[in-house]
Amino acid sequence: MTTYPPRKLALITGGADFIATNVADRLLRDGWRVRLFDNLSRDGVTRNITWLQSQHGRVDPTRVEVTFGDVRDRDAVRRAVEGTSRVFHFAAQVAVTTSLVDPISDFEVNAGGTLNLLEALRRMKQPPSLLFTSTNKVYGHLDALPLRTRNQRYEPEETEIAQAGISERQALDFHSPYGCSKGAADQYVLDYARTFGLPAAVFRMSCIYGPHQFGTEDQGWVAHFVIQTLKQAALTLYGDGRQVRDVLFVEDLVDAMLRAHDQIDRVSGQAFNIGGGSANTTSLLELIDLIGDVCGRRPQYRLEAWRQADQRYYVSDTCKFHRATGWSPHVSLAEGLERLMTWFEASELSRPRVFASGRVAS
């Protein structure tokens, strides 16, 4: 039987989701082994595992290890961290809307699951480096931020924020059960770095998009817009469509995550706002126009009432992470959309039947 030399092992919780798939692909190409820990509760994610195994597991099946488990299970988490050198903690309940329906489950997964992981790491003799993905929702609704309307978007009246975005100096103001649960996890990670010396950092994420994303209107909205366009189905915009976000192509995010682990001594115990920054912003209405330019077909949409905790403006100021590591995003929104569109068109996602068993609201 053929034997292979040992490789470093990375654990990815929520390991079947879209960001995890892109991280795993990069790690595997760089010679790592990956352990994907996931309860497979989201529609479409088993395809990501199948794709990773087909790309990287044919010669050496041990390189892609799939562990079915839930972060609420302490014993499963304790077993999952064994032998690892790096941990990417993505497992989460990801939608504000879901947290409003079931706040207890939201807390148990996001806050309780993260605490289970931290405790498992704390008990290790040589804890691996940890990167936790938090959210811009820890800053709340930002309703005290003075805004004005310009054409199809909101923009800040304060010049500094208009030019650079929201920095980590912004006061925390957890809003919605989701904001509270992710915010609690965010603070636990930072405190375990401070109190117990765990090598851990936090990314407060803006909107990420890219290949392997099965977006819905609740989460992954850029991909959702593209999917609906390819299906020739109408979109629902909540509010007036002028709300602004910065968007980051997943390839740039993976670069940032690997830099964080590579430079964990420099970034440990800190939180960083991560997104496309001021150079990669869009309102919902502007994105619809851009998709029309890229796709040759402008999405149809209808407006509904504002949803709770929906920020009218959020753009990440990424200067702190840039100063710490030298990272900056390189993929523009136009280029990223074209690459996402190409990936969708090459996959079965352009066929409506794919979503027969899953919810992709129109």
Q: Do residues 247 and 332 touch, judged by C-beta distance below 8 A?
A: no
Identified catalytic residue from 4, 139, 154, 178: 178
> Of the candidates 14, 126, 7, which has an alpha carbon nearest to the alpha carbon of residue 67?
14
Distance CA 25, CA 36 (A): 12
Distance CA 179, CA 170 (A): 15
301 is catalytic: no
* Amino acid identity, position 124: M
Helix axes 333-346, 284-295, angle to 10 degrees: 60
> Of the candidates 34, 48, 133, which has an alpha carbon nearest to the alpha carbon of residue 92?
133
- For 152-203, give the DSSP string: TEEEESSHHHHHH-B-TTSPP---HHHHHHHHHHHHHHHHHHHHH---EEEE
Active site residues: 178
